[in-house]
Structure 1
Amino acid sequence: MSEVKFSKEHEWITLEGDVATIGITKHATEMLGDIVFAELPEKGTNVEKDGTAGVVESTKAASDVYTPVSGEVVDTNQAIVDDPSKINEDPEGSAWFFKLKMKDQSEMDSLMNKEEYDKFAKESAS
């Protein structure tokens, strides 16, 4: 598995071959609180970089889920739709949202590494 990258919208992404796995960060779940609903894109949907690809709702707020890269949705995580609390339990692991067949791997270059993201998240929280 490749290095984890992060977006300014608090999504994480890993790449295996040309398939990207995307979810929301632990920081995002801490800001949202207890997640009670998740809506994911349909398989076969084409999504554009920085476009909306889903929704999460918590006891505090509703938030769009963005895709940090463009591509075609090839898989979604039905387990988090059936039980959204899983997102709070393991946001950067088993509670991934969807997988994309990427169009342009160079889009990964504009994303942050873990250290850069941690600094960004800390600054945006204050």
Structure 2
Amino acid sequence: MRDAKLAEAMDAESWIIEGVHYQWGTESFRQADLIFLIRPKAYIQDARVISRFMKTRLGLEQGNYKQSFKYLRVMLLDWNRGFRRKSIPAIMELTEEYRAKRIIVQHNLEILQHVRRYMQGKSVLGTSD
């Protein structure tokens, strides 16, 4: 089902796939026009996790799971650090073949700037795909 949903998304005229599920999305890398890897500074990534934790614990936002201090520790120490140490190098290796269209950014707004430039370049070339 998951692979069918991915294939369905990639059949669309334009698409964006977001997530850390890079191990099973390799076909999307081949078909993508641009590949973005968002790498915020570690302290920003950790601050976002803490902020999300606090907002959920205070009932200001709804979470997908029960927020506990144990899980906060897991998110900060295991997941965030593990992602930086293991997953990012794995993603870099997996996308090395597509490095010409791989762009590493720190902020989401940088993505918009790159997409605008890309779309302007396509307009100048007179292509519409």
TM norm structure 1: 0.24
Larger Rg: 2
Greater percentage in strand: 1
Greater percentage in helix: 2
Structure with the bigger RCO (C-alpha within 8 Å, sep 6+) is 2
